[in-house]
Structure 1
Amino acid sequence: MEIATRRHFFKHGGQDPSIGLDSAEIQNCHWCQLRSFANHEKYPISIINDTDDGASLPADFRFISERILGKGVSRAEASFLSGCECTSNEHCMYGGCECLSDLPDSGLESDEDADFRRRSNNHNGIKKFAYYSSGEKAGLLRKSYLNTRTAIYECHEQCNCGPDCPNRVVERGRTLPLQIFRTNDGRGWGVKATVDIKCGQFVDTYIGEVITDSEAVERRKASRKKATRKKDLYLFDLDKFWEVIQDDKNRLVIDGEYRSGPSRFFNHSCDPNMRIFARVGAHAELNLHDLAFFAIRDIANGDELTFDYVDGQVLQDGEPRDGDYTKCLCKSTNCRGFLWS
């Protein structure tokens, strides 16, 4: 398969890259998969291997631009999907948008939002978008969010506000070009920024096949028979609201091992420059919330994009470092040495 994919890739130099290629070659080509993304022309994803190991991306991996709902997973019925009734973006920002109804009240006021506080008609508490809505920081995640695990509540496709509403950052999708590259220190593939990224800027979401928690358990068991991959590196629990849902059959997991976007190749660091936040659209689909990566500091063009796989968890003294752990290769000054696999 790798030979066929390489042959296909080298034919891309022609005016019509499909000439002389069979459908299987086109379907299995990672470059063609990325080129099919709706935002490819404006925000392309490139793949490069400057090492001498000759490695290519896994032949059984496919790039996708939207999540896939697996067996036993479905969206909420249309009658349960509702959004805000805001009559304008201005109303959304200052009129007490219903999309923020589940946002906690505590810790939401700040001096910089004095104007919002004066103009808001939400008398049950000051609730504002997760993003700055004007000025040079427009569209960036507020500083107060960066070091929290607070969920982001956005307006969405069922809302009455317009598509340019400032509370639709994740919904609009990735607006950055990225480069998938081969690392030269044994960490496999990684992802680089190809433009400067601001602190608080949305980078991408983690997508894949959405499966039930019980199916994830079975896939973990099956993966233990393989020596080449560790399944838990690609399984992300959609668990932000499990205590609210309290229904095992609606507990879902994203599996990005074989189907995902470029974020599948983000590497771990104990000193990361990104963090994952749960993003909620329709409140009837809390169990299908997005996992969104945001920069937690300024990232320079060419820097690798990383996040903390275990979100700051550390081993306790005397806790065994056996086969259940993977040695960390991030080499940051505060490296914890091991991470969960």
Structure 2
Amino acid sequence: MAAPDHPRRRRQQTDMVLENSKTSGMKVKKEVRIQKRKYISTESSLMSRKKAKKQVRVSKEKCSSLGALLHKPQNKSAEEDVENSLVQGEEGEKALTICRGTQDFSISLPPFGQSNSNLDVSCNEEMLIRTRVRKALRLFQVLCRKLLQSEESTSKNRGQRIRIDLTAAKILKAENEFVNTGGPIIGSVPGVEVGDEFHYRAELSVVGLHRSYQGGIDYTRINNSLLAISVVAFVGHADEMDSSNFLIYSGSGGRPSEGNKPPEDQKLERGNLGLKNCIESETPVRVIRGFEEFGQDGKPRPLSTFTYDGLYLVEGYWKEKGPQGFDMFKFKLRRIPGQPEISLIEVMNSKRTAVRGLCIADISGGLEKIPISVVNTVDDERPMPFKYIRKMIYPSWYEPTMPKGCACTQRCTDSGSCSCAVRNGGEIPFNFNGAIVQAKPLVYECGPSCKCSPYCHNRVSQHGIKFRLEIFKTQSMGWGVRTLTSIPSGSFICEYIGELIQDMEAEQRNNDEYLFDIGHNYDDHDIWDGSPTPIPVSQAISLSNVVDYGGFTIDAAHYGNVGRFINHSCSPNLYAQNVLYDHDDKRMPHIVFFAAENIPPLHELTYHYNYTIGQVRDSDGNAKTKACHCGSHECTGRLY
């Protein structure tokens, strides 16, 4: 968590919001419209040709030291390969019909950070393009989950399911939501960082990292010479990742995908020729590591992990016999020094030194199914003592009102027969894999009064933590929480648990560090409402219309769980979701954290504390200031 002098997070902001809503509602709405127009104007300016050309020049200058050149493609066959990889024909038309022809098919994005509402053209370009990349990926991920939800709710024609990843990319491309589309980029891609993680090949194309959905080598023609610009290198499993700075890459071709045609010798053409030409020109090649996950049947799962590993130089190539007797090319690539190490390598290295900096083996004391360790490699400090709990502590006077519950005997459905689905607007808010489909003001899970199975996919947060988390000492923000495994977008992380108390008691406790006021989670749907999206974005719904403000606060100072250690960020990767399941009191929903994007291993988990400048004041009414050290691209420099 943040430093010891961290003031209360929510309460003062709650009072301000409540007062403003009573006295100046029209003014607040006007300001929302102003900020919305300002953001849309910024997005439009970023997409303008002038901006795009400037970004191309910036990228070219970054790559010039490596001997890279930036040109538009002249090789028609390469362009055709890229275009042919898009969803075509009936499948593409079906996707557009689903998304444009269904009125209730809408999406809402989780918040990025409050600083986004103040973006203008003068902002740092690197921050802007990074924000556009993250937005495009979040749109893609929400679309995939929404499409999957639609497929799961359809009981007929299960053997004719569409490819949700290609369909989502088709929609985004049609709506000009792809990023870095000015032409093939040699070298670093603006807005994409080493270690960024993707769970579909199509995501690589959305952000301009690797344009081909099928081919392992992306290449272009420069001055009548083919040059490779990126490769996707698959290894069998993440544990097989080689920690050296060299990569032996197998060439493309020779593996027919149609009929029973036998394999044939690979040819030194197209992508293979592009890699060979990179040797003499010293052109850097982007490497994306792909890791296939295997199910119990031994077959690769549709969703794999792709991690951007940085820039490599091709040092040599040779020909050798493949396992089936045909000739294949091998290329030796060396990683350019000075780049960040990808987190998978760091995780494997940490396994070899697992006891380094270990303070506590399991801070939950066995209460969580997965142990939560505490490590400190900064100093000798240990976390302040507290009682770890897994369920909220309610006041002794409180008697919860149990919801009626659904009468489903098997799997809950999206039809009107499931009362829980009806309360959620006619659909179950989670996919079958437990991922939340999209952010909502309030989510109803099945609870103890429901007759459905305990393993119903509408019971997510109540089953506890599913990912390996670690509490660690940060350099500048006290204790924090990071993940030791990859976390897909939409995944449940943990609940913010503690003592539920009234605001009056919170004032008397005089302990502001671990307070979370209920009813005013950070929400910025107004920023996205009206922005260009592939399908109609649902209208922003005020939390006050769904969650009743009752003056309650969660105090995790003496009783709490891992959620109490999660830090603030101006560019968070989690968001807080209101959830009800074991009672029906909208004044005190459970505060549950979900992943707003794909989170690689060893990345810190953060959410937005929702401060505003001038919000926090001392006893004399003077505004206090506190520096923000989150270090994100969008950091405002001040927490309040």
Taking structure 2 as the reference length, the TM-score comes to 0.37
* Residue 130 (1) aligns with residue 429 (2): yes
| Contact 2:471-2:482 at 8 Å conserved across structures | yes
* Matching residue of 1:82: 404
1:136-187 CA deviation, whole Å, 9 max, x = no partner? xx21111xx24xx521111111101111111101121211121000112x21
Is 1:273 matched with 2:591?
A: no
Query: For residue 236 of structure 1, what is the aligned residue in structure 2?
Result: 516
Contact kept? 1:33, 1:64, Cα under 8 Å: no
Matching residue within 429, 434, 453 for 1:139 = 434
CA distance in 2 between partners of 1:87 and 1:46 (Å): 39
Shift of 1:325: 3.8
Secondary structure of 1:285's match? coil
Relative to structure 1, the CA distance from residue 156 to residue 71 in structure 2 (aligned partners, 3 Å threshold; closer, same or farther) is closer
- Distance of 2:514 and 2:625 partners within structure 1: 15
For residues 105-184 of structure 1, the aligned pairs below 5 Å read 105=425, 127-133=426-432, 138-142=433-437, 145-146=438-439, 149-184=440-475
Q: How many equivalent residue pairs?
A: 256
Gapped regions of structure 2 (runs ≥ 5): 1-358, 521-542
Q: Distance in 1 between matches of 2:368 and 2:480?
A: 23
1:189-234 per-position Cα deviation (integer Å, ceiling 9, x unaligned): 0111011100000000000011122212323xx34xxxxxxx0x42
**Aligned with 1:64 (options 377, 389, 392):** 389
Q: Report what 1:109 is aligned to.
A: none
Choose which of 37, 49, 53 in structure 1 pairs with 2:376: 49
Q: Which residue of 1 aligns with 2:502?
A: 212
Q: In 2 relative to 1, CA 70–33 (structure 1 residues): closer, same or farther, beyond 3 Å?
A: farther
Contact 1:92 1:161 (8 Å CA) reproduced? no
Contact 1:48 1:180 in 2 (8 A): yes
Distance 2:549 2:496 in 1: 23
Q: Which amino acid aligns with 1:200?
A: G
| Structure 2 Cα separation of the partners of residues 179 and 245 of structure 1 | 32
Structure 1 counterpart of 2:632, from 323, 328, 332: 332
Deviation at 1:64, TM superposition (A): 1.7
**Residues in 2 aligned to 1:215 and 1:170: alpha-carbon distance in whole angstroms:** 28
Report the Cα distance in structure 1 between the residues aligned to 2:392 and 2:612, rounded to whole angstroms.
Answer: 31
- Give, as a single letter, the amino acid of the residue that structure 1 aligns with 2:384: P
- Deviation track 1:110-151 (CA, whole Å, cap 9, x = no partner) reads xxxxxxxxxxxxxxxxx1111122xxxx21111xx24xx521
SS in 2 for 1:34: coil
- Spell out, residue by residue over 1:78-117, the C-alpha distance to the aligned partner (whole angstroms, 9 max, x if none): xx4421112221x5444542124443x5xxxxxxxxxxxx
CA distance in 2, matches of 1:81, 1:132: 23
The superposition leaves residues 279-310 of structure 1 with CA deviations (integer Å, 9 ceiling, x where unpaired) of: 11145222331110000111111111111111
How far, CA to CA, are the matches of 1:83 and 1:55 in structure 2? Answer: 47
What RMSD over aligned residues (CA atoms) do the two structures have, in Å? 2.8
Go from structure 1 to structure 2 and tell me whether the alpha carbon gap of 1:154 and 1:76 turns closer, same or farther (over 3 Å shift). Answer: same
Structure-1 residue corresponding to 2:246: none
In 2, distance between residues paired with 1:253 and 1:85? 33
Q: Hey, what's the Cα distance between the residues in 2 that align with 1:216 and 1:169?
A: 30
Is residue 442–residue 546 contact of structure 2 (8 Å, CA) maintained in 1? no
Corresponding residue for residue 485 of structure 2: 195
Deviation at 1:252, TM superposition (A): 2.0
Distance in 2 between the 1:211 and 1:30 partners?
Answer: 29
**Alpha carbons 2:362, 2:373 under 8 Å: kept:** no
Alpha-carbon distance in 1 for matches of 2:387, 2:460: 26
> In the alignment, is the contact (CA less than 8 A) between 1:83 and 1:282 conserved in 2?
no
Structure 1 counterpart of 2:277: none
Cα distance in structure 1, aligned partners of 2:472 and 2:436: 27
Aligned equivalents of 1:242, 1:45: Cα separation in 2: 35
- Looking at structure 2, the residues matched to 322 and 336 of structure 1 have their Cα atoms a distance apart, in angstroms, of 21
Aligned to 1:97: 418
How many Å apart are 1:247 and its aligned residue?
Answer: 8.1
Q: Distance in 2 between matches of 1:272 and 1:102?
A: 29
Q: 1:36 aligns with which of 366, 372, 394?
A: 366
Q: Partners in 1 of 2:601 and 2:623 — Cα distance?
A: 37
Note the C-alpha offset of 1:69. 1.9
Cα separation, partners in 2 of 1:199 and 1:161, compared to 1, 3 Å: same
Find the structure with the greater CA-based Rg. 2
- 8 Å contact kept, 1:242–1:287: no
TM-score between the two structures when normalised by the length of structure 1: 0.67
CA contact (8 A) 2:413 2:428 kept: no
Q: Distance in 1 between matches of 2:624 and 2:558?
A: 23
Q: Of the candidates 555, 577, 580, which is equivalent to residue 255 of structure 1?
A: 555
Letter paired with 1:130 = P
* Partner residue, 1:5: none
Cα-to-partner distance string for 1:314-341 (whole Å, 9 max, x where unaligned): 548xx9x96534211101111122224x
Q: SS in structure 2 opposite 1:339? A: coil
Counterparts of 1:309 and 1:289, CA distance in 2: 18
Deviating 4+ runs (over 4 angstroms): 29-33, 240-248
